[in-house]
Structure 1
């Protein structure tokens, strides 16, 4: 059973809005990442739960007004409605459209749902959440629908926004076509009814904000300053609980707070602190019933906004992309590196309050990480070795070739690249094993020894003497390319895994254990405990196994530990 979950931040896509949703009490936030849906406490974001019921990448999730259920959609058009208060048990499932779900809306009675997106035969569907029977038709658009909103008071109405630059107004229930609104000149990104139901807004790629009467869909006004609302696409809009203010987020790296009555800007929140300008584009936002204003950056950062000062009062950080490497220090600091090159540190001394703190990362995927003598070593697809500490800073060393694995003992560093094996001592390159007749996949350093795994399924030992590396006789019982290796603390037992999911333990070049064969996919990582009595393995099959050296047939299986590994 998972005891703690350190949540990722929402998955974002450049040029596309990301949906955030809170419960009616304003205490919990829900969003999607990869194939999962995450629910986090707004006061203490370290408190989180994960729903992993989707088979495909998730795209949108919304709380029901009652707070008892969440409806979530994925790229294949599936919508799952599940329990938001307990263990996430499934209430119902439907495939309303044959394509990506872009947005979901509930009616105020928590009975009816409208799901919209990029379908083939239709772009949206209205249905009852329990019986799944139809409660109207969503028509009137010629391209994918990006957003949907339902009037929270009777008589119920609905509006949708589309890439065809139109907004369609529906009457209900059952929902039926009312009229087409053509005020925008480019993609319409979001529509949203105010909590009172008297007004709804639309925002789009033309940088415009329009306000409409909630009962008839007649245009009331346009929010603008000097002819524009934002200097670029507006991705998201959220209303204040009293329906007096509107929060908008855009590609111009700003989030703006509007007084709807006066049509004036109350505050502008500017985001320009990222290393790359586009990372600060604001692609989503939400305004909770407890007055939490949250805006989402393209980088995945969740920004808590202080509406009085116009500043960011808090940032919730983490990984928006898959974690590809990790390491932990003796002082209980966890380092994680992800597919996009970001590296975060986590203080594990207080597991209930652990929050990510980004540190200097890589320009591309982090391939491997290791901690030695409290120093962090990492290599990435940017062909760089980074080493240092948070206090003293980090410095970069080019590796010339693509690093695939990293091993550190004392001050000695071995890096297996796709062309050679490089050895560094105190940050300086002291030796290179090149002109090889094999392709290295991983390397492990021991006291006076180096083991190199390769694509030909062999392990090649080297004896280290100063800067001289003397090769020994290759050995292996593995039958596939070597994917992971780990040397026990005594330096006598070598655990080796391959692409076929098989793990062997060698002692002095001879096979000691050959029974660890229960993984069904490539093993990606191996690690020994301090006593050298157990090995833990992770694999593409999403499972984690703990193996016993003394009792090789004994194992502990943690099935489906991650949705993807």
Structure 2
């Protein structure tokens, strides 16, 4: 009995309007890194589907930077902690930890010897600190600012220099080592978001909310020129800049929905890339970027990555996905599963092919505007429910929502669809019955309890309704009418998840105290009541296609796969997701026991399980 993690479909980076995000690449140009939630993600630049995750932080992460050697990563969080850890081994062994300032770490910079770092951000006594990699002892003072420092960069040649950019509209210049304040540069008129030394150390550039980009001498800090006086310049604030490897060009990303490449010597715009993939224009603001080798990547406010082709001035590739907690999951009969998230986005994911297994395609059309609470799919149809108190219908083939929108009258919590496409929706006040055209044909009015979840049998004859009173009501369904035929009463907590067995008269029931009962739906008595290893609320249950196994997910962060024929046999996937597992399903069209899980960390993971 064992499991292996087959894939991690990493989320997009966490973004906040008005703030830049930091992307960084390893020295070999093979991988790039960013943060989301309490995790740091490392993805392959050529094939972003290859991803690893670091979960050592206890607070929300804010920035991660590779060391020049490539062997270590320094990552910061909103509590002011910087953790330095190994990138080579899967265990990501912690090398050192320091809390240089009292607030959020906005940026980190390494020197070229991988021996010294500067961490900057929000603080009470100071906004930055320079320290040694090994001993954590101070290697200078970062002063000269009166507000939060947004960005820091260290010259990679001796003599070392450092520059910082701040919300006080200034850039500070330092010599080192030890790092000492030299002067303040006051060319910007609004927040300064980004500052970067060129790879050869001859220049550094700064960019800010005033839309201006300035070029300075890398050794003296003297201003050389303002690039943003050129034609076709940005018309809004610039969030991020990145140098080309040969130090002759600069990539900038702006709130005007564009990224531009600048010729530093000629002080002209060479390429302009317009990013307009998001339906909401604000989401197209470009808030982060990197330039490593032939890879030019810019990140939108939505979190979407755009790979830029400087030869054609076009986007060569886009990487989309979730950036907020994934709250709903459904597996279609084809090679696709669907996920819905806290921000209302729904995506379809391909699996089964090494070439396209991580393709995330957004379900377009008039979708939800807030948290998706449930998804269900059958044949070519997708049905979703959300906290906007609506059900929406989508086409799987077109990956698009249709114009069919049904109001539920109150918050829907679950969706279940039978083989003939009869749909049952549980809401806070009632249970709604719809036919294959999503026309309402029945309703459980004034149930006398608060429904929490509902499931319909595959033959559409029975509806099971879980309540917040620890009971499951069993109803016979005929012509849209529900008739109570019995109750399942052995659970000790609120009913949170149900799963109908695909062949037998069995129902798996999960509750708020982490217990799972399997009931015989004819006798109404439990046949399995030993699955009690979750420590918190069960969020999801699903039977395998053969019916021999049940998978469960919980807010205790764990996933369990249970054997029905031998209830004492189980496979435990501990810490499957950071904070909580929100949904689990068995994948179809796979020869082995393959489980997909989604969680509060906005990640999607696929597991192979063997008994």
TM-score, normalising length: structure 1: 0.97
User: Pairwise mapping of residues 372-383 of structure 1 onto structure 2 (< 5 A)?
Assistant: 372-383=378-389
Secondary structure at the counterpart of residue 486 of structure 2: coil
**1:439 paired to 2:450:** yes
What is the CA–CA distance in structure 1 between the aligned matches of 2:291 and 2:548, rounded to whole Å?
Answer: 52
Equivalent in 529, 547, 559 of residue 532 of structure 1: 547
User: Which segment drifts farther, 450-459 or 353-362?
Assistant: 353-362
Quote the residue 2:415 is aligned against.
Answer: 406
- Which runs of structure 2 are paired with 1:6-155 in the superposition (5 Å)? 6-87=9-90, 88-155=92-159
SS of residue matched to 1:3: strand
Mapping of residues 337-416 of structure 1, within 5 Å: 337-351=340-354, 353-354=356-357, 355-360=359-364, 361-392=367-398, 393-395=400-402, 396-399=404-407, 400-410=409-419, 411-416=421-426
Match of 1:467 in 2: 480
Tell whether the 8 Å contact from 2:165 to 2:192 is kept in structure 1 after alignment: yes
Secondary structure of the residue that 2:283 maps to in structure 1?
helix
SS in 2 for 1:278: helix
SS at match of 2:282: helix
Cα distance in 2 for partners of 1:491, 1:432 equals 27
Unaligned runs of 5+ in 2: 581-611
Q: State how far apart, in whole Å, the 2-side matches of 1:202 and 1:304 are.
A: 23
Does residue 1:221 correspond to 2:225, yes or no? yes
* 3-state SS in 1 of match to 2:276: coil
* CA drift at 1:69: 1.1
Return the offset for 1:388.
3.4
CA distance in 1, matches of 2:415, 2:167: 47
- The one of 408, 414, 430 equivalent to 1:420 is 430
Query: How far does residue 228 in structure 1 lie from its aligned partner after superposition?
Result: 8.7
Q: SS at 2:83's partner residue? A: strand
Which blocks of at least 5 consecutive residues in structure 1 are unaligned? none
- The structure 1 segments of at least 4 consecutive aligned residues displaced by more than 3 Å after TM superposition are 225-229
Deviations for 1:452-510, whole angstroms, at most 9, x for unmatched residues? 11122221111011121112333322222211111111251111111221212221322
User: Any conservation in 2 of the 1:208–1:228 contact (CA below 8 Å)?
Assistant: no
Task: Say which is worse superposed, 377-386 or 308-317, in terms of deviation.
Answer: 377-386
Which residue in 1 is equivalent to 2:268? 264
Aligned match of 2:513: 500
Cα distance in 2 for residues equivalent to 1:377 and 1:3: 28
Shift of 1:514: 2.1
Secondary structure in 2 matching 1:25? coil
CA distance in 1, matches of 2:448, 2:144: 64
Whole-angstrom distance in 1 between the partners of 2:23 and 2:231: 29
| CA deviations over 1:4-29 (Å, ceiling 9, x no partner) | 11111111111111100011222211
Using the TM superposition, give the Cα deviation of residue 555 of structure 1 relative to its aligned residue in structure 2, in angstroms. Answer: 2.0
Aligned length: 564
> In structure 2, how many angstroms separate the alpha carbons of the residues matched to 1:127 and 1:434?
66
Q: Which structure 2 residues correspond to residues 293-332 of structure 1 after superposition, within 5 A?
A: 293-332=296-335
Q: TM-score, normalised by structure 2?
A: 0.89
Cα offset, 1:198, TM superposition? 1.0
Q: Find the aligned partners of 1:550 and 1:420 in 2 and give their Cα distance.
A: 35
Q: Is the 8 A contact 2:211 2:228 kept in 1?
A: no
Alpha-carbon distance, 1:102 to partner: 0.8
Residues 420-468 of structure 1 show CA distances to partners (whole Å, capped at 9, x for unaligned) of 2111111211112222322211000013000111122221111011121
The Cα shift of 1:333 comes to: 1.2
Comparing 144-153 with 26-35, which one deviates more in the overlay?
Answer: 26-35
Structure 1 CA distance for aligned equivalents of residues 261 and 230 of structure 2: 16
Counterpart contact for 1:305–1:311, Cα < 8 Å: yes
Q: Please list, as runs of the form range in 1=range in 2, the aligned pairs for 1:181-330 lying within 5 A after superposition.
A: 181-225=185-229, 229-288=233-292, 290-330=293-333
Cα deviation 1:258-278 (Å, max 9, x = unaligned): 111111111111122321111
In structure 2, which of residues 181, 189, 193 is the aligned counterpart of residue 177 of structure 1? 181
Asked if 2 retains the 8 angstrom alpha-carbon contact of 1:462 and 1:469, the reply is yes
Can you list the C-alpha shifts for 1:122-143, whole angstroms capped at 9, x where unaligned?
2111111122111111111111
> How well do the aligned residues superpose, as a CA RMSD in angstroms?
1.6
Cα-to-partner distance string for 1:387-411 (whole Å, 9 max, x where unaligned): 3323255323222322111101021
Aligned-partner SS, 1:279:
helix
Counterpart CA distance in 2 for 1:501 and 1:430 is 35
Question: Distance in 2 between the 1:15 and 1:476 partners?
Answer: 52
1:207, 1:228 within 8 Å by CA — same for their partners in 2?
Answer: no
CA shift for structure 1 position 231: 1.9
Q: Distance in 1 between matches of 2:173 and 2:425?
A: 60
**Higher alpha-carbon deviation: 489-498 or 155-164:** 489-498
**Secondary structure at 2:488 match in 1:** coil
What SS is found at the alignment partner of 2:315?
strand
Whole-angstrom CA distance in 1 between matches of 2:494 and 2:104: 37
Deviations 1:5-63 (A, max 9, x none): 11111111111111000112222111111111111111111122111222221110111
TM-superposed CA distance for 1:352, in Å, is 5.7
Aligned counterparts of 2:106 and 2:512: Cα–Cα separation in 1: 36
Cα deviation for residue 516 of structure 1 reads 1.7
